[in-house]
Amino acid sequence: MKADSHIKRYRIRPRQKVRLGDWDPDDTSGFDGKKKEALIESEKLRLKLEQLQEVLYAEHKHKVLIVLQALDAGGKDGTIRRVFEGVNPQGVRVARFGVPTPEEVNHDFLWREHAQVPDNGEIVIFNRSHYEGVLVVRVHKLAPEEVWKARYQEINDFERMLCEEGTTILKFYLHISKDEQRKRLQDRLQDPTKRWKFSIHDLPERAFWSEYMSAYQDVLEKTSSEWAPWYVVPADHDWFRDIIISTVIVRTLEGMDMHYPPDANLPKSMTIK
């Protein structure tokens, strides 16, 4: 498929230097002026993901954690809705992480995420994640610098432990432009069907755009590993965002060499009366 040849450019190599200004949120490489073609390919990927997820659930051997991070209006909900349309809801679960509760604050910053990691045969999608501990916490100075700086290694250790226990981890940063964010927030405000998604707190956050860019750059540089890679996904166009993410997930699942469980305990011929 056409998207395959472009996937490597979005994956952050371990210790790669990242400057988000070098990444174009408006990028549609391979599909410039060919949105219709991209939508056809996306549908093929969606059907393939549906098939692969069914085998994953039936085999009950592998587990997959998908992390979605983005600024406000970055497209996390839309990604979940479109990329995972049609999958078996018994085997896919979304964990959403908002402001920590008093109980969560009383534990270590990874406690609430650890409780939500996938079981065998399951795909879990983190809508926001443990990375809020080095993003929002850093930008708004909710913890001393020495505390959030230590968390990069703690996150790497946490993800490596999950990987060694059999979890495949894929992390996607949905990269939108500041102008596109403004358009989406304005659209939420004006569209009655989207107004429920608008928060008055989204507007002050725009003033911290540069601080968030710096924080995300450090996250991508310090926590993209062979066992838990980050992908910077151009997200100004939701259809292109979806095809990149779908391609990565499908190719990863295909590489697991999954099979339906054997039926060795069943007779070769059996009639049900």
Fold of 2-254: Rossmann fold (3.40.50)
What is the token pair recorded at 163?
């990987």
Burial 1-28 (b: 16+ CB within 10 A, else e): bebeebeeebebeeeeebeeeebebebb
Query: pTM higher than 0.85, yes or no?
Result: yes
pLDDT at 197 over 90: no
Residue 266 confidence (pLDDT): 66
pLDDT (mean) for 228-248: 97
Asked if the model's pLDDT at residue 264 lies above 60, the reply is no
Question: CA–CA separation, 179 vs 39, rounded Å?
Answer: 24
How far is Cα 117 from Cα 93, in angstroms, rounded to an integer?
A: 10
Q: Give bridge partners of residue 11 from the DSSP assignment.
A: 231
What lies within 8 Å, CB to CB, of 210 at 6+ separation is: none
Q: What pLDDT sits at residue 33?
A: 81
Contact 176/74 with Cβ under 8 angstroms?
yes
